């Protein structure tokens, strides 16, 4: 009874518009009370949920996104990529995807990247002949790669929640799948642009003559992912320390190199990052009550055993989980999905003997697809607001981009080495 009440109450609270963190905490508390367990364990679980060293990286990476957005890095990256790619149909759409992938190597947040890239490229893409729904779809899909390309806030949470998975290992494992997903999106947007004659209308010949100049302007932004990932690789700092170094580096180029930041900007960035980080960490803390209640009430193992016992086999179960996570990803962000479903999903992975690092990557790819799949896709909400279009108008274009991401996902499932080769070579 308590198990049924747990999920039923949680679903009703979500439908009633209650914030997800509050819904998780209230549903968990009710289930514990119905099962005659002590509610005094809740404060301990709330504290234990966030008293984990790797989670310190989350506020820092959130702040990194704000710093690099305000320093003008995204704009300089767009200028360099435009000069490099040139004019023509599909060129600027490819630039949007490439820039989102680089920004993903700095901030690790899909909605933040969707906002940063959308603000920079939308006006230029409209002038270049792209329809606004297509622009919103492209930006949202490109931003979805950011929870795959390290650093990734979702990967940090996954590594914290799953024993035996280190943050550096899953960061490296997400690199090639993230690039593969980005290339699949680029191939799709270029094909659509060629078929539908999108782009190539604005005069950009002068940009092709200024590749070196725009590269020098964008150099400091391009160097950021190298510093973050390279520093972790050589052991100069941990992922948490890398986040702090990234903030320091962003402030350095903002004040000294580009000179686009002011002390007022720093105050506003700190407030913005503090508010967003608080939301994330409150959800993590209250979700620990939900997770503890599912474990205490013995809900996890029967559900996992039921899924394994369906007889679908490894690949059939992966297809089932793909459908589940893509649908859930339409309504919830990746961190919330991990907090709610990982207690059930990890035993399923263990039952089939799947590598938990690889499993984390494919789970994240599935969630990434949901982030730009209507009706409640978080990335698409942001890009549609910036482009000034309704989410319904993006469906013809989003459908093709979802298909592209599914192809990339299928390749990573069929060939686990795409994810596991890099961490193995690096000894992680």
Q: What is the pLDDT of residue 135?
A: 92
160 backbone dihedrals φ, ψ, rounded to 5° = -70, -40
Q: What is the mean pLDDT of the chain?
A: 81
Return the C-alpha torsion angle 229, 230, 232, 233, nearest 10: 120
Please provide the distance, in angstroms rounded to a whole number, between the alpha carbons at the two ends of the chain: 43
Is residue 105 within 8 Å of residue 225, measured between CB atoms?
A: yes
* Angle at which helices 300-308 and 334-352 cross, to 10°: 60
Q: What is the pLDDT of residue 1?
A: 56
Q: Which residue(s) pair with 199 in the sheet?
A: 89
In the three-class reduction of DSSP (H, G, I as helix; E, B as strand; rest coil), residue 155 is classed as helix
d(CA 33, CA 290) in angstroms, rounded, equals 12
Q: What is the pLDDT of residue 271?
A: 87
Q: Which residue(s) pair with 89 in the sheet?
A: 199
Cβ-in-10-Å burial (0-12, 13-18, 19+) of 167 comes to buried
What stretches in the chain show pLDDT beneath 70?
Answer: 1-4, 35, 37-39, 41, 53, 86-87, 105, 107-110, 201-209, 295-301, 329-334, 375-376, 428
- State the DSSP code for 199: B
Using alpha carbons only, what angle is made at residue 328 by residues 324 and 333, rounded to the nearest 5 degrees? 140
Q: What is the pLDDT of residue 421?
A: 93
């Amino acid at each position: 009874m308590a198990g049924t009440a747990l999920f039923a109450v949680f679903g009703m609270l979500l439908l009633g518009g209650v914030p997800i963190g509050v819904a998780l905490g209230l549903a968990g508390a009710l289930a514990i009370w119905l099962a005659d367990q002590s509610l005094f364990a809740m404060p301990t679980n709330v504290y234990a949920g966030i008293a984990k060293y790797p989670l310190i990286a989350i506020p820092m990476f959130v702040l990194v996104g704000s710093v690099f957005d305000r320093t003008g890095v995204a704009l300089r990256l767009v200028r360099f990529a435009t000069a490099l790619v040139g004019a023509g149909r599909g060129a600027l759409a490819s630039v949007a995807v490439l820039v989102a992938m680089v920004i993903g190597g700095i901030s690790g947040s899909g909605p933040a990247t969707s906002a940063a890239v959308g603000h920079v490229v939308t006006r230029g893409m409209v002038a270049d002949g792209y329809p606004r729904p297509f622009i919103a779809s492209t930006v949202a899909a490109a931003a979805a790669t950011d929870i795959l390309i390290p650093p990734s806030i979702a990967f940090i949470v996954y590594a914290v929640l799953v024993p035996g998975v280190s943050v550096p290992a899953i960061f490296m494992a997400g690199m090639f799948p993230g690039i593969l997903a980005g290339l699949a999106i680029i191939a799709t947007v270029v094909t659509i642009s060629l078929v539908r004659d999108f782009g190539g209308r604005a005069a950009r010949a002068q940009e092709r003559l200024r590749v070196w100049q725009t590269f020098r302007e964008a150099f400091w932004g391009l160097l950021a992912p190298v510093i973050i990932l390279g520093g972790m690789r050589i052991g100069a700092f941990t992922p948490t320390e890398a986040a702090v170094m990234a903030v320091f580096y962003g402030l350095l180029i903002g004040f000294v190199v580009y000179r686009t930041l002011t002390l007022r900007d720093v105050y506003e960035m700190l407030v913005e990052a503090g508010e967003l980080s608080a939301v994330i960490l409150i959800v993590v803390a209250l979700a620990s009550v939900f997770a503890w209640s599912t474990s205490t009430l013995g809900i996890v193992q029967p559900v996992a055993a039921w899924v394994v016992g369906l007889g679908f086999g490894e690949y059939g179960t992966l297809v089932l989980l793909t459908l589940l996570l893509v649908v859930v990803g339409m309504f919830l962000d990746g961190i919330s999905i991990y907090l709610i479903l990982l207690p059930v999903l990890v035993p399923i992975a263990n039952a089939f003997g799947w590598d938990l690092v690889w499993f984390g990557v494919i789970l994240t790819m599935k969630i990434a697809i949901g982030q730009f799949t209507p009706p409640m896709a978080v990335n698409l909400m942001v890009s549609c607001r910036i482009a000034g279009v309704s989410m319904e108008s993006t469906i013809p274009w989003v459908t093709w981009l979802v298909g592209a991401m599914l192809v990339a996902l299928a390749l990573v499932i069929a060939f686990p080495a795409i994810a596991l080769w890099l961490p193995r070579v690096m000894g992680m």
